[in-house]
Structure 1
Amino acid sequence: MSKSFRTDAFMLGVCYYPEHWEETLWEDDFRRMREMDMSVIRVGEFAWTIFEPVEGEFRFDLFERALDAAHRHGLQVIMGTPTATPPAWLTEKYPEVLNVSQKGVTYRHGMRRHYNYNSPIYRDLCERITRKMAERFANHPAVIGWQLDNEFNCETSVFYSDADHAAFREWAKAKYETLDRLNKAWGTVVWSQTYTNWSQVYLPRATVNDSPNPHHALDEKRFISDSVISFAKVQADVLRELCPNHWVTTNGLFGHLDSHQLTDELLDFFSYDSYPLFAVAYPDGGDNPLLDRRWSSSLSAIRSISPLFCIMEQQSGPGGWVNRMKLPAPKPGQMRLWTYQSILHGADMILYFRWRTATMGTEIYWHGINDYHNQDNRRVAEATRVGHELAAVGQQLTGASFLAEAAIIRDYENEWDGEFDHWQGPLSGQSGNAWFKAFQFRHIPVDIIYMRRKTTLADLAKYKVLVYPHAAIMSDDTAALLEAYVAGGGTLILGSRTGFKDETGQCRMMPFPGPVASLCGITVEDFTVIADSGTPPDIAFAEGYGQEDAKYTALLFNEILRPEDPSVETVAVYDGDYYAGKPAMTRRPYGQGEVWYYGAAFNDAAADAVLEKLPIATPADWIDAPRQVELGLRDKNGELLAFLLNYGSTPATVAVHKEVVNLLGDGPVDGKLVLEPYGVAILKLADN
């Protein structure tokens, strides 16, 4: 059973920091929130010094007054545990709680997230502050749930304190039991790295050329994920014990953490912090970058953890710290657009970050809804519009399922291994982005799902098409699962470097693509990485495939394919370099389905050319929308809701061939709908 957020009425709110503001502002702030149809606030996640100014001395009166005031105005409250920001008295007295860089530099007080997960005393102190807060606020009528810490593994996702090295050694003992097994898994016979005593085992330390053992480095990421989950469990257990009527979540999606496992084991649902302007500041490559529309990919990944989730921080203004990150102001309409982007993809509760821009500290340029001067502005007006809209129609949206017949597959093992492996790591990002764009521009809703040990055939079989572009690490069990999916009628797309590593990250001594070679009906005859200074060759599609005016380039890595089964069709060949004319892409019918294999990373055009031939199309063929509009569908008890999101700076005209009403408009749509720049519509069939 999936872990989802459940609510009858849509919940809109804002992050609030009562400790930052004069108490005389609270009542007016809360009054205005309610006038904007907000119903929930998040507080407390950075306030440890307020709660415990001196070790063992606890003061909750400031927040009790703030919560009482919020409750008087009908606001509900999410409490954050403040463990992301240990106080100065704590780090001074217990410096062993601090995180350390791989080169041995200790991260000192003065920022946030400067602790490590494995310090025993830090875990004890975190358990104590969580317990004291839970005892104090368990029965407060405003409190509905808890956020653990804040953005696990944000700022940094590697940890090298003495406590981490010691914990890693015990983790490795539990995993491998003997040094012989560890040495075999890590391939330590190479370069005389063999360990002969457990005391020699550490997390990867600084090495010549920053090149630690790659199998050791993969286990490091697994250990960090387990450390986060173990640390979070200390707090979650306290809250389950003392606050049984409250839900528990955490926020953010960051590296070296299996957020699926974290949610399965500890949370009621997962929450995300959505900042689409990062995609504008750091755009994807290729033609027609998605910009803020790319954030739909991130939201789709969250949906794989919790089909219905919370946005704990929704961007509402320009972003930046005083010394890094410069994100421009959202254009008029974009804040509302991003809110409905989150709702389309599964958010039933959204809190804007933040109510008012901070006047002090590192984030004085990370703007909230209100400016420093607290006067009306266009962000306040836009948030008010959203609040009034959701008050009117939100109940029709909550609990609705996102509908998709295609999915892009990811997995943690390959994400972690690919960070260090420059021969295959960049491939997944390139191809995943190209495929997401191809689905987006053809208005085909797509899920992003994670391949896990607990993934079943039923999890995969609900999709007509699966794209698993570059699974270098692939177990025999996963290969068997994919084979059963294709045999049962599914269409599977694979890419270069598939299946050449086992679960330790070691290369298999078998023809590539390893355990799926027989499924694909091919082997890899030869291969080459495309050097940074090199020019990738073009590919030429066979007759009936591709478009004459498109540019098909075989990016990053090239495998020369050899068909081994007579049923294999060569779809495209390389059109350059010494392997010109050799197979680059193949298609093989298998059982009731088919499997495609591409010996490179996909560019936008190649992904679109394949998608053109797949047994899938837009499920809303009664809507004709331009490419600048995202189309997505949510289903609530058989009632279909079509979201139209215009990411363009110009109006978009949409043709509608059924009788519908626009829930955000003035009623029925008469054949044509014009979306304003950054405009939104939610269409419901008129006879529903």
Structure 2
Amino acid sequence: MKHTDALNDLRLGVCYYPEHWPEELWDDDFRRMRELGFSVVRVAEFAWSIFEPEEGVFQFGLFDRALDLAHKHGLKVILGTPTATPPAWLTHRYPEVLNATQEGVTLRHGLRRHYNYSSPKYRELSAVIVRRMAEHYKNHPAVVGWQIDNEFNCEISEFYAPADHDAFREWCKAKYGTLDKLNEAWGTVFWSQTYTGWEQVFLPRPTPAHKQPNPHQALDEKRFISDNTISYAKVQTDILREVVPHHWLTTNGLFGHLDSHRMNDDLLDFFSYDSYPQFSTIYYDSNEENRLADRGWSQTLGTVRSISPNFCIMEQQAGPGGWVNRMDMPSPKPGQMRLWTYQSIAHGANMVLYFRWRTATFGNEIYWHGLNDYHNRPNRRIREAGQIGAELAEAGSRIASTRYAADIALVRDYDNDWDGEYDVWHGPFAWQSGKAWFKALTRRHIPSDTLFIRGGTTIDELRRYKVLVYPHPAIMRDETAALLEQYAREGGIVVFGCRTGYKDERGHCYMRPFPGAAAGLCGISVEEFTMVKGSREATFMQWDGEGGAKTQADSFNDVLQPESDTVSVVARYSSDYYAGKPAVTRNAIGKGEAWYFGAVFNEASAGQLIDRLGLSSPAAGWLELPEQVELAIRRDEAGDLCFLLNYGEQPAEIAVREERTDLLTGRRLSGSVTLEGFGVAVLSR
């Protein structure tokens, strides 16, 4: 039974590692946490060697004392199952539990997440430690919930131990039943790859062209990894549902090769995420023009929200971050930690825990700074956390009942995400177009959701939105196209980009005119197409209308041919040999529309479509905001809460034409208002 009330309250907390600190520090630590307004701590997710120092020998004393003391101070506790870090005795005695590279090199003890999910022995020993912990703490008054493992598929999301090859073979048998069906799905007649015995079937292995396997096998590999990860997690959740049915269950992450939506639906009460906004700068947009930097993290939080409308941030960045040899992030400037906290809350978080209480003095994370520095003296970050705690003590109950509200969704699906990792003819385009749309929307103060199309997606899920942007779904089942057509006929607007609809769920190309499954919905065919790279210079498109704009047609060009009199041409290519040919079309279908954009989106072209679709900020009638301020809306029956998040270091001038109350200060605001650098306001009627 799901604990649907688990996030009814808005809680603030912190990650704590009592095993890292002298016991005489604990009481003062917990006391100061409560003074900051914290009410929950996470512990134990890396402590297997503390609980079970030798196989079959269990010791709970250290955490018993820590949990008793936390309870004394009024703190609730989230227990982590410690299976992300198997102890040395385990990996030494049972080396078959270790993961391996594709080349077969065993990944040894010394970091974390060095195990494989397929090992029967690892599943057995994981079940033992989870059951013993659950039975021991099932009646502890401080414990409210459990985090399963820690960051599934972090560090590595591919698995090639012997047990993984065996498990993949069994997964293929269950999926296909016969070798004939497997051979058909993988297209093994190409290059004489046909399998004649199940013992010949493996996960992708090194090939003469390095990591270039059969593409259909590679797609199934990702599906297997996801299913196998969920199967391993289920070993733990089944035990916890049996032994501690009164506790809620979650896990933290959002990593590769894992259907987190299915994991949440099948196993968890809600999803949790680890929010480090500076990752956006150092990993995702360091070389990008007009970048969003930490504001771009809001798009990632939209993905989390698609899994769990309200969620937990199990680790919220609280300081400069980094391991000894990587992730060297600078310290947040004054106000940024508070900004990032409200960024998470604005996008749906009802529980936020900072990582971590005090910076570790040893190990790989000695530079992953928490709220307290090594010296344990008061600092700026502690003062900022105290301000947030005081604000949420007043405003938290009003925020907790609300959910994020948006009329437009950026659409994704796992098949295309996973297929696109290998397929350069569509994979790189999805991130580029999704980012372009998010930039164009957020800078116009139009909130957006992320929506994953899945096998069980219903028309009711689509009806929540006025516009769906599905940039490059190369893989599209006919059933998905039919669902989208129904959505459009009922009045919805769906927008596609190039490389849409030409593959089936196996990754095979349809023997149909492009855009394949989406052709009828869009009312067009693709006359021809080309990559735009190398010797092919940048191309452009001219939009219709008086003074029509000219925008670049990035990366790939589909030259379009209307096939129905319901199709109108909205833009034409203005360069190269196909100048004058249709580049953007609109098909009137039922009460709605289907748009096809023949290139990869950039911010300017997304802006053209936003304007032509008549999209505007939901607060346009009463609120004027500069570009540097994000608008996010959480809503319930009592009305809207408008989160204003200033990502600029300089103050932002806003105009409030209808008086509102800032929940964080209690002030009534109207007219010209200054929002300080990295400032936040939450406006309510």
TM-score w.r.t. length of structure 2: 0.98
Letter paired with 2:399: L
When structure 1 is superposed on structure 2, of 634-643 and 504-513 the one drifting more is: 634-643
The DSSP-based 3-state class of the residue aligned with 2:337 is helix
Residues 431-510 of structure 1 aligned to structure 2 (within 5 Å) = 431-510=433-512
Distance 1:545 1:225, change over 3 A: farther
Deviation at residue 286 of structure 1 after TM alignment: 4.8
Letter paired with 2:241: R
Matched, 1:588 2:587: yes
Q: 1:59, 1:218 → 2: CA distance? A: 43
- Aligned residue number for residue 426 of structure 1: 428
Alpha carbons 2:7, 2:310 under 8 Å: kept? no
- Aligned residue number for residue 279 of structure 1: 280
Deviation at residue 76 of structure 1 after TM alignment: 0.4
Alpha carbons 2:532, 2:539 under 8 Å: kept? no
Q: 2:255, 2:166 → 1: CA distance? A: 24
- Aligned residue number for residue 247 of structure 1: 248
Q: 2:121, 2:644 → 1: CA distance? A: 51
Q: 1:158, 1:295 → 2: CA distance? A: 25
Q: 1:5, 1:81 → 2: CA distance? A: 22
Residues 530-569 of structure 1 aligned to structure 2 (within 5 Å) = 530-531=532-533, 534-544=536-546, 547=549, 552-569=551-568
Letter paired with 1:214: P
- Aligned residue number for residue 600 of structure 1: 599
Structure 2 unaligned blocks of 5 or more: none
Deviation at residue 8 of structure 1 after TM alignment: 4.2
- Aligned residue number for residue 673 of structure 2: 673
Q: 1:503, 1:218 → 2: CA distance? A: 9
Residues 14-93 of structure 1 aligned to structure 2 (within 5 Å) = 14-93=14-93
Q: 2:552, 2:420 → 1: CA distance? A: 22
Q: 2:180, 2:202 → 1: CA distance? A: 16
Alpha carbons 1:3, 1:263 under 8 Å: kept? no
- Aligned residue number for residue 196 of structure 1: 196
Letter paired with 2:497: G
Alpha carbons 2:261, 2:307 under 8 Å: kept? yes
Matched, 1:639 2:639: yes
Deviation at residue 546 of structure 1 after TM alignment: 5.1
Deviation at residue 340 of structure 1 after TM alignment: 0.4
Alpha carbons 1:545, 1:609 under 8 Å: kept? no
Residues 84-233 of structure 1 aligned to structure 2 (within 5 Å) = 84-209=84-209, 210-233=211-234
Residues 346-425 of structure 1 aligned to structure 2 (within 5 Å) = 346-425=348-427
Letter paired with 1:230: S
Residues 312-327 of structure 1 aligned to structure 2 (within 5 Å) = 312-327=314-329
Q: 2:327, 2:179 → 1: CA distance? A: 45
Letter paired with 2:583: A
Alpha carbons 1:83, 1:126 under 8 Å: kept? yes
Q: 2:3, 2:159 → 1: CA distance? A: 29
Alpha carbons 2:3, 2:248 under 8 Å: kept? no
- Aligned residue number for residue 309 of structure 2: 307
The DSSP-based 3-state class of the residue aligned with 2:265 is helix
- Aligned residue number for residue 577 of structure 2: 578
Alpha carbons 2:642, 2:684 under 8 Å: kept? yes
Q: CA RMSD in A?
A: 1.3
Letter paired with 2:260: S
- Aligned residue number for residue 261 of structure 1: 262
Distance 1:510 1:227, change over 3 A: same
Q: 2:138, 2:567 → 1: CA distance? A: 63
Distance 1:7 1:267, change over 3 A: closer
Deviation at residue 533 of structure 1 after TM alignment: 6.3
**CA displacement 1:280-305 (0-9 Å, x = unmatched):** 22353654211101111111111111
Distance 1:122 1:661, change over 3 A: same
Q: 1:244, 1:519 → 2: CA distance? A: 47
TM-score w.r.t. length of structure 1: 0.98
Alpha carbons 1:5, 1:268 under 8 Å: kept? no
Letter paired with 2:375: H
Alpha carbons 2:7, 2:311 under 8 Å: kept? no
When structure 1 is superposed on structure 2, of 137-146 and 565-574 the one drifting more is: 565-574
**CA displacement 1:238-296 (0-9 Å, x = unmatched):** 10011011000000100100001001110000001000001122353654211101111
Q: 1:118, 1:534 → 2: CA distance? A: 47
Distance 1:150 1:430, change over 3 A: same
Alpha carbons 2:394, 2:664 under 8 Å: kept? no
Distance 1:30 1:534, change over 3 A: farther
Q: 1:473, 1:3 → 2: CA distance? A: 35
Deviation at residue 587 of structure 1 after TM alignment: 1.1
Q: 1:308, 1:115 → 2: CA distance? A: 31
The DSSP-based 3-state class of the residue aligned with 1:380 is helix
Q: 2:121, 2:263 → 1: CA distance? A: 23
The DSSP-based 3-state class of the residue aligned with 2:113 is coil
**CA displacement 1:4-54 (0-9 Å, x = unmatched):** 663443210000000000001100000000000000000000000000000
**CA displacement 1:431-475 (0-9 Å, x = unmatched):** 000011111011111110100111111110121111001000000
Letter paired with 2:423: D
**CA displacement 1:293-332 (0-9 Å, x = unmatched):** 1111111111111101100000011111111121111111
Letter paired with 2:102: Q
Deviation at residue 167 of structure 1 after TM alignment: 0.4
Deviation at residue 541 of structure 1 after TM alignment: 1.1
